[in-house]
Structure formats: structure tokens, C-alpha cells
């Protein structure tokens, strides 16, 4: 069995074990579609903490840990990366913005050279999984008197700088962003759950238990993962990683 088949077989077993079917109370009520809620429990998962991350280009006090919760001040703009490069992996994390219209993100497959040249206030090359508060889109609509056609607040996935990705539909007008198929993000100060799967140059995102966006043919398909500071306070908890073959 080759590596790809091994990974797919492994994930199929995990998905079966993790799938939760939501069923109505009465026999005459329709059954809801199954939801694959991966919470980072089971074989191979590692809970991440302060020792696993390295501040790249933020201030010393931008990132702080308290009782298992990672607090980000949002300033200066920059990233905190995982300690080593990854190729095939999956991550779960919970996040909540602490201010209306907050902005943040998760990066996969950042080249080392991109991190080495970052200055304070800059963000790296890679595949970004957007983490936006609902108020960000609302502020845009209020200012421009129309809805945005180039971003959403529900889990866009897209390449930055020299990285490349073929986005899953629906696709933004610029042809680069994968827009979510559903609007599932919860508002400011409410916890949201992301499950991010990065395998064989393909990235997929589940928001609060449902798959919504992603892309394939990502290049590069190896690099660092990182969490983004981008202007407003945000908290993370239950960050867990599983490396795959």
C-alpha cells in the first residue's frame, strides 16, 4: 500500500469513529446530515503549548499563555510559528475574537526563507486559513454600502504571496480564494472550532463541525504552520496537532 492509500485509509477510520449523527427526538422528524467533529482526541494527537511555538516577528508580550489559553494582543502584526516544518498533518483549535471586526489567521506550509526575511508588521508566504470576526464584513458593508465580493467572515482559504493553490468552489472573483459553502462562524467573544487537514498538498477546513472550504495543488506543500497577529485581540485554546505519514 502506498503512502497516499495509507493516509486515506487512516483518515476513513478516524472519520467513522468521530462522526456524530444528529437525530431528531421523534421518529417522524427528519434526520440531520452527519457532522464530522474532530476534537483532537485519540492516537497520535499532541496538545500544543508555549514550548511548541516560536515568536517570529512580534513583540515579546504579543503572545501570552494563561491556564491553557493563548492570548494575542494583535500588535504588532506578525506570526508565531510551530517549532518544526510539517508536510502531512491535521490541526484542531478553538478561537474567539475579543473585539468587534477582529482579524487573524492560521498559516500552513510557510517556507523557511519567508519567515527568515520577515520584519515586524509583515506576514509570510503560505496557505492562509482566515479567522475573521463577523463584524469585519459588517464594517465593510457599512463603509462601502455593499457586500464584499472578495472575502467572507466564515473561513476563506487562500494562498499568499508566491504560494499557489487551486481553490475549491465557490471561488472568489479573483480566482484565488476558496469561499465557504456555509456561514457557520459565531460572533465576537464566542468560541469557534476549526479542524484543518493538510495532506498531499491539499488543505481542507471544517468550521464548527462542518467542512466548508479548502484547495488542492498547494505549492509549496511543506513548511511551517503559524498563528497570526493582525491588529486586534484574539484568544486560542485546545490547540492540537497530529502529524501524518
Structural domain boundaries, residue 238 = 38-243
Residue 1 forms part of a structural domain: no
> In residues, how long is the chain?
245
Q: How far is CA 104 from the centre of its chain?
A: 10
Residue 145 in any domain: the answer is yes
State the pTM of this model. 0.85
What total number of domains does the chain contain?
1
**12 in any annotated domain:** no
User: Is there a domain that residue 20 lies in?
Assistant: no
Backbone angles phi, psi at 100, to 5 degrees: -60, 140
Model confidence pLDDT, tens digit, residues 23-55: 333 344 444 444 667 989 999 999 999 999 999
Assign residue 121 the CATH number of its domain: 2.60.120.560
- Residues 83 and 85: their CA atoms lie apart, in Å, by 7
Residue 86 lies in a domain: yes
pLDDT tens series, the chain, 245 aa: 555 555 545 554 454 444 433 333 334 444 444 466 798 999 999 999 999 999 999 999 999 999 999 999 999 999 999 999 999 999 999 999 999 999 999 999 999 999 999 999 999 999 999 999 998 888 878 888 888 887 899 999 999 999 999 999 999 999 999 999 999 999 999 999 999 999 999 999 999 999 999 999 999 999 999 999 999 999 999 999 999 99
- Residue 23 domain-assigned? no
In a domain, 187, yes or no: yes
- 106 domain residue, yes or no: yes
Amino acid at each position: 500500500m502506498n503512502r497516499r492509500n495509507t493516509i486515506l485509509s487512516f483518515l476513513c477510520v478516524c472519520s467513522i469513529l468521530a462522526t456524530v449523527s444528529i437525530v431528531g427526538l421523534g421518529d417522524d422528524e427528519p434526520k440531520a446530515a452527519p457532522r464530522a467533529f474532530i476534537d483532537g482526541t485519540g492516537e497520535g494527537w499532541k496538545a500544543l503549548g508555549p514550548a511548541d511555538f516560536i515568536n517570529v516577528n512580534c513583540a515579546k508580550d504579543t503572545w501570552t499563555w494563561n491556564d491553557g489559553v493563548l492570548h494575542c494582543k494583535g500588535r504588532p502584526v506578525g506570526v508565531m510559528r510551530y517549532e518544526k516544518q510539517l508536510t502531512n498533518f491535521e490541526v484542531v483549535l478553538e478561537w474567539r475574537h475579543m473585539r468587534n471586526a477582529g482579524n487573524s489567521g492560521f498559516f500552513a506550509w510557510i517556507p523557511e526563507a519567508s519567515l527568515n526575511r520577515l520584519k515586524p508588521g509583515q506576514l509570510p508566504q503560505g496557505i492562509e486559513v482566515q479567522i475573521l470576526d463577523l463584524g469585519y464584513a459588517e464594517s465593510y458593508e457599512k463603509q462601502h454600502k455593499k457586500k464584499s465580493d472578495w472575502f467572507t467572515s466564515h473561513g476563506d482559504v487562500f494562498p499568499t504571496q508566491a504560494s499557489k493553490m487551486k481553490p475549491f468552489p465557490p471561488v472568489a472573483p479573483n480566482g484565488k480564494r476558496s469561499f465557504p459553502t456555509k456561514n457557520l462562524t459565531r460572533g465576537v467573544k464566542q468560541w469557534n472550532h476549526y479542524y484543518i487537514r493538510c495532506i498531499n498538498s491539499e488543505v481542507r477546513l471544517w468550521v464548527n463541525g462542518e467542512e466548508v472550504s479548502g484547495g488542492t495543488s498547494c505549492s509549496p506543500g511543506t513548511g511551517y504552520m503559524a498563528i497570526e497577529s493582525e491588529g486586534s485581540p484574539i484568544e486560542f485554546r485546545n490547540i492540537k496537532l497530529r502529524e501524518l505519514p
